[in-house]
Amino acid sequence: MIRKTAGGPPAAARRTPPSIRDVAAAAGVSYQTVSRVLNGSPSVRADTRTAVLAAIEEMGFRPNRSARALGLGRARAVTVVTADTMLYGYASTLQGIEEAARAAGFAVGVRVIESDSADDVRQAADYVADPSAGAVVVIAFDPAGAKVLAALDDDVPAVAAIEASGRRDTGRVVICLDERVAAAQATEHLLALGHRTVHHVAIPSEDGGSGRQAGWRDALERAGAPVPAVVPAGWDMAAAYAAGRRLAADPLVTAVLCGNDDLALGVRRALYEQGRDVPGEVSVVGFDDIPGSAYWTPALTTVRMDFAGLGRACFEAAVAQLAGDAQPEVSLIAPCLVVRESTAPPRTEP
């Protein structure tokens, strides 16, 4: 490592960045006073404070994050635990967390969960047990995230972002987007258009019962419509495409609710290849409102979700937990259906 050079070259540039003690010496106070200024302690006289601040400014001093974390016991940081970083919902949530963290002067780390195997789950949980991880937000939209949440050591300050409320109690703070009512809304839109029922191509869900899928089922049951078998498609567009081909072959299918916009794309492509017009013959609705969906042909009817808001709320909650404060009120923008071109009344029977 770099050590302070005692004699060094004559006009050598400083090697080691200034420490709190260097600043103290320059300002003519003790290191503790500098520390107090850094932490905004009220018991520092105004002129002392300005002197210290001037020294800090002049020397270009910046507190060492590792040292601070070591002394404090936990870092002023947030680390996001997630099974994926590219999928729109995950990436947007991460973005929301990052923005809020940066605004608050927190460092941000990312730890992805390789799989939901016991080993990978444990490794992720161990990772965030380290104090340098700071506060933790686990994105628990899927089984891997949910397992990590359960495996977390009790004393790591963590909150979870989940898909829908009503999940079994975990003893942890959770913040959710209400996808269930949103999915119901989308399904009702299709029903109101005159469709007999709505098929569902699903993403993997944490428990298969409380999120998008549940909302779809709710709406169908409330309307007394038949509830077709769910078509699972993973996160994979290819799987959605395959599912779409099967659906396309069935003349009774006139409306499809997809677990997310990517799946909707796969389904729509399959429909296209089979010559089934969207929305003329079958209506398709997605979920998430990814940026491109408004530009598709036809533009996709979908449900807009406030993932970024979810991320920000999670950050606030995680920090509150880190500080031992009461949980802040959360106010998220409710999901909303945005109707575009991919839905229409079913073709009237000839």
Q: Is 165 helix (H, G, I), strand (E, B) or coil?
A: coil
Q: Which residues contact 263 (CB under 8 A, 6 or more apart)?
A: 201, 203, 233, 237, 240, 243, 286
For DNA, which is the closer residue by CB, 33 or 302?
Answer: 33
How deeply is 101 buried, as exposed, middle or buried, from its count of CB atoms within 10 A (0-12, 13-18, 19+)? buried
Tell the smallest beta-carbon distance from residue 184 to its own copies (Å): 27
Q: What distance separates the 2 farthest-apart alpha carbons in the chain?
A: 96
**Using CB distances below 5 to 8 A depending on partner kind, what does residue 266 bind out of its own copies, DNA, none?**
its own copies
For its own copies, which is the closer residue by CB, 94 or 139?
Answer: 94
Two structure tokens written together for 99: 């923005």
152 with 128: CB under 8 angstroms?
A: yes
Where do contacts with its own copies occur on this chain (CB under 8 A)? 1-2, 17, 62, 64-67, 69-75, 85-86, 91-92, 94-95, 98-99, 102, 107-112, 114, 126-127, 129-132, 237, 241, 262, 265-266, 268-269, 272, 291-292, 294-297, 299
**Using CB distances below 5 to 8 A depending on partner kind, what does residue 38 bind out of DNA, its own copies, none?**
DNA
Q: Could you say whether residue 5 binds DNA (CB under 7 A)?
A: no
CA gap 150, 161 in Å, rounded: 13
Q: Which helix (DSSP H) or strand (DSSP E) does residue 250 occupy?
A: none
Q: Using only the alpha carbons of the chain, give its radius of gyration.
A: 26
Q: Is 232 helix (H, G, I), strand (E, B) or coil?
A: strand
**Using CB distances below 5 to 8 A depending on partner kind, what does residue 85 bind out of DNA, its own copies, none?**
its own copies
How deeply is 75 buried, as exposed, middle or buried, from its count of CB atoms within 10 A (0-12, 13-18, 19+)? buried
Tell the smallest beta-carbon distance from residue 329 to DNA (Å): 27
Q: Could you say whether residue 50 binds DNA (CB under 7 A)?
A: no
For its own copies, which is the closer residue by CB, 22 or 99?
Answer: 99
Q: Which residues contact 55 (CB under 8 A, 6 or more apart)?
A: 23, 26, 27, 61
Q: Could you say whether residue 29 binds DNA (CB under 7 A)?
A: yes
For DNA, which is the closer residue by CB, 13 or 229?
Answer: 13
For DNA, which is the closer residue by CB, 43 or 331?
Answer: 43
For its own copies, which is the closer residue by CB, 37 or 156?
Answer: 156
Give the residues lining the site for DNA (CB under 7 A).
1, 3-4, 16-17, 19-21, 28-33, 35-36, 38-39, 42-45, 48, 61-64, 67-68, 70-72
